[in-house]
Amino acid sequence: MAMTLLRILAAAFITILMLGSPASAQPARDLFGEMHQPAAGPEMVIGSYAKGCIGGAVQLPTDGPGWQAMRLSRDRRWGSAELVQYIESLAQAVGQDGLPGILVGDMGQARGGPMASGHASHQIGLDVDIWLQPMPNQTIPASERESLSAISVLKAGTREVDPALFGEAQRLLIYRAAQLPGVARVFVAPGIKRSLCAINWRDRSFLGKLRPWYGHDDHFHVRLACPATSQSCIDQSPVPAGDGCGADLDYWFTDAPYQPSTSPPSPPLTLADLPNACTAVLRAN
Ligand SMILES: [Zn+2]
């Protein structure tokens, strides 16, 4: 009896908490996930890659010369004008290499911010995922853009690339992606970086931008630097000097990075965790 009463009291208390919770305490991913139109006005890139938002975002068309966007239902084809321009330039560069084009994965939401699934970053319109498999020559129907899978380029059960899946087309694609102006980092699976490090490039400077990271074996992730015009955008520290092909990369082939985490998962970001200007972006017309 006492237990039942306690439970009822507890449930009532939780209900009051939920009803009384201001928007600033709600998970920001719910608030930003509901936004399907950009905040009007000039572009404003606010905060940092994993804690921020964007006003005045623009949408990448579903198709263009040398690209097709995937997973259209997610409505994550939004970003800064610089990011859209970057994707167009990459598609063009890849075309000049004789490749049909690129499959574009997630960019960001209409007003940026945290997402309900998939990414900690991609919040300020400067991140994009590009699939590693070649774009087919024909237009992919929208339904297949939902169901087609990105294909891992690793040999099954290893951390090394499969040469049948990671060849000249993929090497050129990543080279072009890292070389274009404005790129701060390109996240790739350690095996991808290792195979690119093994090549005798005339100019190795792009290799430093390739950052080994978890996953990223069926796509790579391009992160642009803050646009010069965005005063409220917070850059990451620049990548260390050098090609990053030595001890830093070797670490990823030890067991150390793959130990289960001992720290509890952090709670979802709330509006209060984001820069104040993101509240204005969320409420803007
Ligand atoms: Zn990504």
Domains and CATH numbers, the chain: 29-254 (3.30.1380.10)
CA of 12 to the centre of ligand 1 (A): 40
How would you list the strands of the sheet with 67-69, edge to edge? 63-64, 67-69, 102-104, 127-131, 219-224, 183-188, 210-212
Average pLDDT over residues 121-148: 97
Give the model's pLDDT for residue 45.
98
For the CA atoms of 144, 122, 31, 79, the dihedral, rounded to the nearest 10 degrees, stands at: -80
* Ligand 1 centroid distance, CA of 211 (Å): 12
Structural contact between residues 222 and 186, judged by C-beta atoms closer than 8 angstroms = yes
User: Residue 18 pLDDT > 50, yes or no?
Assistant: no
Taking each helix axis as running N to C, give the angle between helix 190-197 and helix 168-179, from 0 to 180 degrees, rounded to the nearest 10.
Answer: 90
Q: Is the pLDDT of residue 12 over 50?
A: no
From the centroid of its chain, how far is CA 256?
Answer: 24
Predicted confidence at residue 22, as pLDDT, reads 62
Residue tagged 């949408």 (tokens): 59
Closest CA to 267 of 25, 19, 22: 25
Distance 227 CA to ligand 1 centre (A): 19
Range in 100-109, 116-125, 138-147 the model is least confident about: 116-125
The whole-number pLDDT of residue 7 equals 55
| Neighbouring residues of the ion ligand 1, judged by CB less than 5 Å | 129, 221
Cα 106 to ligand 1 centroid, rounded to whole Å: 7
Mean pLDDT estimate for the chain: 92
| 220 CA to centre of ligand 1 in angstroms | 7
Q: Which of 19-33, 103-117, 219-233 has the lowest mean pLDDT?
A: 19-33
How far is residue 228's CA from residue 120's CA, in Å, rounded to a whole number?
24
Q: pLDDT tens, 34-74?
A: 999 999 999 999 999 999 999 999 999 999 999 999 999 99
Concatenating the DSSP letter of every residue in 169-199 gives HHHHHHHHHHHSTTEEEEEE-HHHHHHHHTS
Query: CB neighbours of 72 closer than 8 A, spacing ≥ 6?
Result: 62, 142, 145, 146
